[in-house]
Amino acid sequence: MCLVFVCDEEERVLGTHQAPGSCPFCGGVVMATDVESAWRFCFLPLYFHTKRRFYCTLCTRRLVAYP
């Protein structure tokens, strides 16, 4: 049995750019943000993961893209 306790999760914004398409709720411009998250166990980095998040600039809703 393996027990892993995560002490801290840190997120850092790598970049932001305009995404194609428009918001389905209000028709505003969609922005894409690249975020890198790092899980740390007592100051020792364990796992790095890069995510892309989408949000509307007009209604500030977070949007989900389905592949």
Asked, for residue 2, whether it belongs to a domain, the answer is: no
Asked, for residue 52, whether it belongs to a domain, the answer is: yes
Residue 30 structural domain:
8-63
Asked, for residue 13, whether it belongs to a domain, the answer is: yes
Containing H/E element for 4?
none
Over its length of 67 residues, how does the chain's per-residue pLDDT go in tens digits? 555 555 677 889 999 999 999 999 999 999 999 999 887 777 676 778 899 999 999 999 999 988 7
Asked, for residue 25, whether it belongs to a domain, the answer is: yes
DSSP at 5: -
> What are the phi and psi torsion angles at 15 (to 5°)?
-175, 160
Q: Give the predicted TM-score (pTM) of the model.
A: 0.71
Asked, for residue 3, whether it belongs to a domain, the answer is: no
In the chain, the number of structural domains is: 1
Asked, for residue 1, whether it belongs to a domain, the answer is: no
Asked, for residue 15, whether it belongs to a domain, the answer is: yes
